[in-house]
Amino acid sequence: MKVSVILGHPYPKSFNHAIAVAVVDTLQGNGHDVLFHDLYVEYFDPVIRGEELVTDCSEDRLVRVHCMEIREADGIIIIHPNWWGQPPAILKGWVDRVLREHVAYRFAEEDDGSGLPIGLLKAKAAIVFNTSNTPGERENSVFGDPLERIWRDCIFDFCGVKNYHRRMFRTIAGSTMQKRETWLQEARETVMMCFPQSDQ
Ligand SMILES: Cc1cc2nc3c(=O)[nH]c(=O)nc-3n(C[C@H](O)[C@H](O)[C@H](O)COP(=O)(O)O)c2cc1C
């Protein structure tokens, strides 16, 4: 299977990077074709400009590559920290520019865009790995876990990916190496479950 892995974190020694390494290793170990993108390393430009907004296509070569890959991906894995209840801006811009109409979703011909979207992503499964410092009880009761609504409902369900898994690793601040290794093992197991050994 072709699996797109998108990382949105600027610091190479972060726990997010450790998750990305574990994810990519596990996928490759299972024989999958991994399309890995570290958005900061490749200087992904998150700003959508007027011309791109009103056309069906981007002049940005990298955006075109991302659009092509995500359309073809059999699986998608997103990795990022919780920043103000949202993905980092670089990843938000990736969503704006890559998961665009006619790539990730479309509307029926007679629909002016206010109706129900038709998902175009063919990915059989999507996983989101997040990290944060807020304890779960406070995250749910005070903030309402906005990342769950964003990824599950606003993005993956909208684009037709129903088989969705998300894991928020918390709290990163003050966590021991042992705890982090347990979390990395959990990430590997989730990847194994969603993307088992390839037949080819
Ligand atoms: C700009 C910024 C905003 C943040 N906002 C939140 C937040 O809203 N909720 C939260 O629990 N943690 C927040 N954090 C903490 C990060 O989620 C935490 O540092 C990160 O998940 C740790 O993983 P890492 O070591 O891979 O960076 C924020 C951190 C930064 C830098």
Cα–Cα distance for residue pair 115/110, rounded to 1 Å:
10
What's the pLDDT at 28? Answer: 98
Let me know: does 103 contact 73? Beta carbons within 8 Å.
Answer: no
Contact predicate 105/71, CB 8 Å: no
- What CATH superfamily classification does 2-194 receive? Flavodoxin domain (3.40.50.360)
pLDDT tens for residues 7-17? Answer: 999 999 999 99
> What predicted TM-score, i.e. pTM, was given to this entire model?
0.97
- Which pLDDT value is given to residue 200? 61
Using the atom order of ligand 1, give the atom closest to the CA of residue 19: 26
Which residues approach ligand 1 with their CB closer than 6 A? Answer: 9, 14-16, 81-85, 131-134, 172
Beta bridge partners of 106: 118
Ligand 1 pocket test, pick from 82, 145, 148, 177 with the greatest ligand atom count within 8 Å of Cβ, gives 82
Query: Which alpha helices (DSSP H) does 75-141 contain, by range?
Result: 89-98, 136-138
Ligand 1 pocket: which of 38, 84, 169 to mutate (most atoms <8 Å of CB)?
84
Q: What is the pLDDT of residue 111?
A: 92
Q: Which atom of ligand 1 is nearest to the CA of 131?
A: 21
- C-beta of residue 121 within 8 angstroms of C-beta of residue 160: yes
Which stretches of the chain drop beneath a pLDDT of 50? none
Give the distance (Å) from ligand 1 centre to CA of residue 82: 5
> How far, in Å, are 10, 100, 137 from residue 13 at the CA level?
9, 32, 28
CA of 81 to the centre of ligand 1 (A): 6
Which of 105, 178, 106, 170 is CA-nearest to residue 138? 170
